[in-house]
Amino acid sequence: MEPYATAEQVWAGGLIFARVGAVMMMLPGIGESYVPPRVRLSLALLLALVLWPLVGGTLPALPPTLGGMAGWIIREVLTGLAIGAILRSFMTALTTAGEIVSVQTTLGFAQTANPLEAQPGSTLSAFLMLLGVTLIFATDTHHLFIAGLLGSYEAIAPAKPLIAGDFAALAVRTLGQSFMLGVQLAAPVLVFALIFNLASGLVARVMPAFQVYFAAAPLSVILGLSIFALSLGVMGTVFIDRYRAAARVFAGGALG
């Protein structure tokens, strides 16, 4: 490698690649199982080369021992995985909203393969997850991921101690916000289900001989999905705004 790059340069590039590659494994859309590993590795290598002139001054010198090198690499991989996991965990808001809507419209039994989670899930959850990933790339929110990688070297510089406590607090706060957002996104269908079930109960009390279930079940599906479709634009707008705000935490180097 000496004719092309010095040992210090190879070390710096490899250290950046360790963090960037770990983040690429977890990001929504890029880190999915259907994306070929070569594509992720190529993108991570390209970003590492781009970030090298910008963050090279914050990297530690080449350790004299193999154990020191392994320790730094493991530290950067763990940092990248933590950043990617936090950014990915906010997507659970769409899963929560989809599951709530499925239960309230009696479609919870409708299962399909979710390509973003590599496991079966409700059809509406899979649809909302795909919608969320599409909105991320359609609104250029993925540009904030690159800015977040650069900002992470200011907030979580390799030469500084690893702030595991701040990572844990941010992860807990992000999961709490994502769950609350999921309930808020499904609020129109929740309100409809509450009113509809109360009305069905009153009809059953007034007319005990009337088969309420056979009349209410189709209406619950049709009206619930209609309200879900009408509120879909607002759901997408609110979600992408909240997600951009969450991504700016890293883009602005404001962690901790």
* Residue that is written with structure tokens 């590039």 in the block: 13
Look at residue 235 and tell me if it is in a domain.
yes
Look at residue 178 and tell me if it is in a domain.
yes
Return the closest-CA partner of residue 83 out of 172, 175, 15, 145: 145
pLDDT in tens, 128-169: 988 998 999 898 888 888 888 888 887 777 777 777 777 788
Which structural domain, as residue segments, surrounds residue 134? 7-251
Q: Which CB contacts under 8 angstroms, 24+ apart, belong to 107-116?
A: 107/221, 107/225, 115/32, 115/33, 115/34, 116/28, 116/32, 116/91
Return the closest-CA partner of residue 104 out of 231, 243, 241, 238: 231
Look at residue 30 and tell me if it is in a domain.
yes
pLDDT band, residue 125 (cuts 50/70/90): confident
pLDDT band, residue 237 (cuts 50/70/90): very high
CB-facing half-sphere around the CA of 138: CA atoms within 13 A: 10
DSSP 8-state secondary structure symbol assigned to residue 61: P
- The whole-number pLDDT of residue 3 equals 66
Look at residue 256 and tell me if it is in a domain.
no
Look at residue 95 and tell me if it is in a domain.
yes
Return the closest-CA partner of residue 19 out of 256, 195, 250: 250
pLDDT band, residue 185 (cuts 50/70/90): very high
Work out the percent of the chain whose per-residue pLDDT is above 90.
13
Q: Is the pLDDT of residue 236 over 50?
A: yes
Look at residue 2 and tell me if it is in a domain.
no
Beta strand ranges found along the chain (DSSP E): 111-114, 119-122
For the beta carbon of residue 4, count every other beta carbon within 10 angstroms.
7
pLDDT band, residue 252 (cuts 50/70/90): low
pLDDT band, residue 256 (cuts 50/70/90): very low
Q: Is the pLDDT of residue 173 over 60?
A: yes
Return the closest-CA partner of residue 47 out of 70, 27, 74, 62: 27
- The whole-number pLDDT of residue 238 equals 93
Q: Compute the mean pLDDT over every residue in the chain, rounded to the nearest whole number.
A: 83
Which pair of tokens denotes residue 167?
């990572």
pLDDT band, residue 254 (cuts 50/70/90): very low
Q: Is the pLDDT of residue 255 over 50?
A: no
pLDDT in tens, 59-77: 888 888 888 888 888 888 9
Q: Which residues contact 56 (CB under 8 A, 6 or more apart)?
A: 12
- The whole-number pLDDT of residue 28 equals 86
Return the closest-CA partner of residue 224 out of 186, 183, 198: 186
Q: What are phi and psi of 108, to 5 degrees?
A: -65, -20
Look at residue 1 and tell me if it is in a domain.
no
Task: Report yes or no: 123 and 110 within 8 Å, Cβ to Cβ.
Answer: yes
pLDDT band, residue 7 (cuts 50/70/90): confident
Number of independent structural domains in the chain = 1
pLDDT band, residue 181 (cuts 50/70/90): very high
Lowest mean per-residue pLDDT among 174-178, 238-242, 248-252:
248-252
